[in-house]
Structure 1
Amino acid sequence: MTMRDAANDLDERRLVNAVSAAVSSVKKRLAGTVRDNAVWDDAYAAARSGNADWIKDNWGAVSTDYPLYDGVVVLAPDGRQVAAYLKGKPIDAAALFGPELVRRSLVASKRENVRTLLDLHQINQGIVVMATLGIRPTNDPDIDKAHYTLTFFKTLTSTYIDGISEEFQIRALRIQPEPDPKQSWRLITNYQGEPLGYFVWPKSDPGTAVYNTALPKLQALGSLLFVIVVIVVFSFRIALKKESMLARQAIHDATHDHLTGLHNRAGMLAAISRAPTEAILHLIDLDGFKGVNDVWGHAAGDRLLRAVADTLRMTTPKALAIGRFGGDEFALLHAGEHDPSGIGNAIVRALGQPFLIDAHHVEIGASIGYASVVKSKDALETVHRADLALYCAKDAGRGQVQSYTAELDEQRKSLFVLEDKLRAAIDRDEIGVVFQPLVCTLTGRTRGVEALARWSPRTGPVSPAVFIPLAEKSGLIERLSMKVLEAALTALAKLPKLDLSVNISPMQLANPRFVFEIETALEKHGVAAGRLILEVTEGALISHPERACRSMTALRAKGVRFAMDDFGSGHASIGTLRQFAFDKVKIDRSLIASDEHAVVRATIDLANALGIPVTAEGIETTEQAAFAREAGCELLQGYLLGRPMSFDQLLAHMAGPEQQALWA
């Protein structure tokens, strides 16, 4: 009888633990899904611009039959609903969830370090599991003090509960509003401890089953008592072994990534906490992974992530732990006696080899930052330091390996301060504009100017090489570019014979409102669209080719012209020039400054053969000017012909003698 009761109690505890593990697993899966979708540059841009079509296409429509979630809510930092869907249909989230949704989302919007807020909630359709996270860009997740929030929720329907029941071996699991005293149950509560319902399942009572089977034989066959006791004890040991295996499996599921089999973030943090003092943590970010997802789809992306995990296992077999932090970021922990820089470079080489995915050769790369384990502080400090090194490696270009130094913390703080100053400068119209002449090779006269941003705070001028990349990373580049365009249009409206060239960023071309903003600015200042030339780098076309093509086509129909900037410094092909129908190309200054005249001439001949006029920038000597003119360039730009100057200086420059003497 004692063994019967113990077996029943043990099985009861096992099932209760299995139910708890099932709920935890659902939450973790949903948290991982919302983290992969919220920390995303496109999602960040779509939320901030209120791009309802993007949200519908990427989340709303997916919720119709997606196994990981069946509802999505996007809220603004002030609690305003941006979009909400349930099974692909728009809903009023506030009406469905009540004011608690807004309050919890406001809490999540102010969280830092990509921390997901998890909860359970009661709606008309039943109990739902909810995961909420602030929407943020990939490279700078804590850019905002208050984020737009993304909430995914999954309804615990009877079908879904049946799946959990099968996965965790809980027979006939169901949800009821009240417990059944004749059945096993577990209370379901929200984060405040308020009851939402009960998980209920039939009592299995294996001990009672064994007891009832053995009792008649014990009564009838007393002589076989010893044999029966041995059998019962043996069965009990099997049950204990099975319980131990299930417990180990539950722990494994809670600390490992279901896609790759590597440690997840929680598992890696635990491994870092246990690591010896001399251990080193590498953070690995894949270069080009997003492009694989965009071109071949998420299924191919998942297979690529599994292939990367296998490569890491083979490349670093002596690692203490290997993990995936989420998305395309991996982590590697190893003992300090190995050379961390050498390990990093070995990983870069291994991940630089082509991967065969669905009969396609996929090429990616990796950027790596590493730091020593900090035993005096928690594991998150080690991750923070390695993360700073990773940011530095990514800034340095693809395939770089960077070690953490104390200066990185100071640089990061300095950049935050500079970013705040830049935001304030843009708000107060403190960004100045200068103009650099574009001179015709036939007449020697100034035909147009390029508008360039300048920032000169009280502490001294800040180089464009510093504040332009900072504006791109912090999401300020669109506002900055439009400020420059507005100021330039205001000035150039007084010089109707000059063309105006302005650089635009990839983010602007991808913005659905970009065409409207350009048209509005031209109309406001009374400048003909044909005078405006927008300079685009090759990177803008690679990042979002379809969106860039749509924006360029719409603006070209209005008369706006486009020039490919820095031509010759990247990999732009004839197909690219034809596909996007550029009106001009600008030869990169690095080619003009080189002695490879044959390469420069061939580049110019290529553009001219396609009927595209060529501008040579970086002209600093009369020899360079003469060569560019003779090679067939239409316009020249450089210090020899005029440095960047204020509008008043431009007027004086144009009133003075022209540059025909350079090639008279």
Structure 2
Amino acid sequence: MGADTSGGNTFVRPGSGPRVTRGQIWSIVGGTGLVLAVALALVLIVTSVVVSMRQTANRIDDERAMAAASAAIGALQRRLSLTVQDNAVWDEAYNAALGSEAGVWIRDNWGAPSAAYPLYDGVVVLATDLSLIASYIKGAEFTPSGAAGRMIAQQAARAQASDRPVASLLRIGDMVVAFAAMTMKPFSVEPTNGEMPVLILMKAIDENVLELISRDYQIVSLGIDGTRMSDMLNLELKDPNGERIGYLFWPSRKPGDKVFEQNRPLLLVAGATLVVFLLLVLAAGAVETTRLRRIAAAAELEAKRDPLSGALNRGGFLETLDTLAKEVSPESPLTLHMLDLDGFKKVNDTYGHAVGDLLISAVAVRLAGFADQFTAIGRLGGDEFALAQVQAQPPQILAQQVIDALSIPFIVGEREFHVSASIGHATSLDGGDPAELMRRADVAMYAAKAAGKCRALQYVSGMEDLRRPADVRS
């Protein structure tokens, strides 16, 4: 055998040359360690993202539920305000409240029906000096006393100082009730005798009301209690003085936890696969990144939606308009239609914003029927909509079709509403400033209003010189 003449860092087999150096071994170990470190870093990153998504999904759903519960209480008060307004402005009721048989009339018309009436289950009628004439709750007489009595008198005084209903929450005994108060008056003429009796209607937030809220606002297992419930979501209820009178409570749905549990086996398999097949782990990371981007894109899209109408909000529409303006050409012109409802302000003033919101939603549904003809539909605020058309048919014809569609009566609840629309439209052939396009369409819309409403006008040079009437938006 030959002597071992190799250096100390090289292993030599008898009859062979150098095979593996210690430097190569450390290079392999270091490379392997580096790959494992990168893999571990990826695991930590993915784990952190999953945990963050889990917590974020839970938080977003909790915030949605809190907002929904608050909106439900507000809607209950608004409905009660509409009901008390319908009952307070009534010749017969006003005269009866001032008559000698007020108690009998109140019992027959409001008190007895409150035992099973769906819109309210309590009534209080106070004289001008805020002395009690009659009061019933769930069909039985009762006398407001203590803190509840003082609060009722306080709100009645507020109602006397206003020509609109005063609504809030109140605790009566072990019940939390929504109430609305309004000064009684004749329908036909204003009273001249100085008499200002007050009508108060109440609706207890009981199991029936909670069941309706749960169904309409997707809040499961909704309850009410005087104290905060641990391990539950709690919405604090306050009286007009800001004093806490109870809590709505319900369990968190924790959608993030549910999704996490549903995907736990997949995560475990992914973790085991990562140890054995690092390349597959990298692929799984890419898939996860894509999924997160889609979720982020969906969240971004949702942020650009108007929650009332479902159309794009102002920011989302303007962003879309900027994008469309960059693609304009003479072969593919861009037309912007600015639409404003005629007569909407009267609906809001007469029936309240709750009914107005429902009407806006109904208008949005009709406009959605033109989704295949408009590239984007947005609600800019109030009763103003914007419609972007990448020209397929003459804008004037399409605008008239929209006007005709909105001229059909709307059924909101048990009421029929007749509104129309005025539309101004302007067309860009060269991809100019979107702000200028919007200005021209807005000018044309004002011109349509000034010309008699319920019509569509195309922008022409010189329209800016037209004087806008003070009530052109009504």
Give secondary structure in 1 for the equivalent of 2:359: coil
Per-residue Cα deviation, 1:42-83 (whole angstroms, up to 9, x for no partner): 221111225333322322222121111101111001111112
Alignment-mate amino acid for residue 422 of structure 2: K
Give secondary structure in 1 for the equivalent of 2:118: coil
CA distance in 2 between partners of 1:262 and 1:54 (Å): 39
1:133 maps to which residue?
182
* Cα displacement (A) at 1:8: 1.7
CA distance in 2 between partners of 1:93 and 1:233 (Å): 58
1:4 maps to which residue?
54
2:205 maps to which residue?
156
| Closer, same or farther: CA 69–158 of 1 in aligned 2, 3 Å | same
1:3-152 aligned within 5 A: 3-50=53-100, 51-94=102-145, 97-111=148-162, 114-141=163-190, 143=192, 147-152=196-201
| Closer, same or farther: CA 206–244 of 1 in aligned 2, 3 Å | farther
CA distance in 2 between partners of 1:273 and 1:106 (Å): 38
Q: Is the 8 A contact 1:110 1:147 kept in 2?
A: no
| Normalised TM-score (structure 1) | 0.39
Higher relative contact order (CA 8 A, sep 6+): 2
| Closer, same or farther: CA 240–84 of 1 in aligned 2, 3 Å | farther
CA distance in 2 between partners of 1:144 and 1:200 (Å): 48
| Closer, same or farther: CA 225–339 of 1 in aligned 2, 3 Å | closer
| Closer, same or farther: CA 68–60 of 1 in aligned 2, 3 Å | same
Q: Is the 8 A contact 1:188 1:195 kept in 2?
A: yes
CA distance in 2 between partners of 1:144 and 1:18 (Å): 45
Alignment match of 1:227 (pick from 255, 277, 287): 287
Alignment-mate amino acid for residue 211 of structure 2: D
| Closer, same or farther: CA 42–31 of 1 in aligned 2, 3 Å | same
| Closer, same or farther: CA 95–183 of 1 in aligned 2, 3 Å | closer
| Closer, same or farther: CA 23–158 of 1 in aligned 2, 3 Å | same
2:328 maps to which residue?
none
CA distance in 1 between partners of 2:188 and 2:287 (Å): 68
Q: Does 1:318 align with 2:422?
A: yes
Q: Does 1:190 align with 2:242?
A: no
| Closer, same or farther: CA 93–249 of 1 in aligned 2, 3 Å | farther
| Closer, same or farther: CA 201–243 of 1 in aligned 2, 3 Å | farther
Per-residue Cα deviation, 1:135-189 (whole angstroms, up to 9, x for no partner): 0122345756561000000101123112111110111111122223322112111
Per-residue Cα deviation, 1:340-399 (whole angstroms, up to 9, x for no partner): 8x99xxxxxxxxxxxxxxxxxxxxxxxxxxxx6469xxx9xx9xxxxxxxxxxxxxxxxx
CA distance in 1 between partners of 2:238 and 2:204 (Å): 15
Q: Is the 8 A contact 1:133 1:150 kept in 2?
A: yes
2:355 maps to which residue?
257
1:337 maps to which residue?
450
2:268 maps to which residue?
216
Root mean square deviation of aligned Cα: 4.1
| Closer, same or farther: CA 42–221 of 1 in aligned 2, 3 Å | farther
Q: Is the 8 A contact 1:177 1:198 kept in 2?
A: yes
Q: 5+ residue gaps in structure 2? A: 1-50, 275-279, 314-347, 363-380, 386-409, 425-445, 456-468
* Cα displacement (A) at 1:260: 7.6
* Cα displacement (A) at 1:31: 0.5
* Cα displacement (A) at 1:233: 4.9
* Cα displacement (A) at 1:241: 6.4
Q: Is the 8 A contact 2:160 2:183 kept in 1?
A: yes
1:240-255 aligned within 5 A: 247-248=307-308, 255=353
CA distance in 1 between partners of 2:76 and 2:208 (Å): 14
1:463-612 aligned within 5 A: none
Give secondary structure in 2 for the equivalent of 1:318: strand
| Closer, same or farther: CA 305–68 of 1 in aligned 2, 3 Å | closer
Q: Is the 8 A contact 2:309 2:360 kept in 1?
A: no
Larger Rg: 2
CA distance in 1 between partners of 2:71 and 2:451 (Å): 38
| Closer, same or farther: CA 179–260 of 1 in aligned 2, 3 Å | closer
Give secondary structure in 1 for the equivalent of 2:308: helix
Q: Is the 8 A contact 1:74 1:150 kept in 2?
A: yes
The percent identity for this pair of structures is 26
CA distance in 1 between partners of 2:236 and 2:413 (Å): 38
CA distance in 2 between partners of 1:88 and 1:29 (Å): 20
* Cα displacement (A) at 1:256: 4.2
| Closer, same or farther: CA 261–56 of 1 in aligned 2, 3 Å | farther
* Cα displacement (A) at 1:231: 3.8
* Cα displacement (A) at 1:90: 2.0
Give secondary structure in 1 for the equivalent of 2:237: strand
1:500 maps to which residue?
none
Of 219-228 and 181-190, deviating more is: 219-228
CA distance in 1 between partners of 2:411 and 2:205 (Å): 29
Q: 5+ residue gaps in structure 1? A: 265-269, 275-301, 321-332, 344-371, 383-664
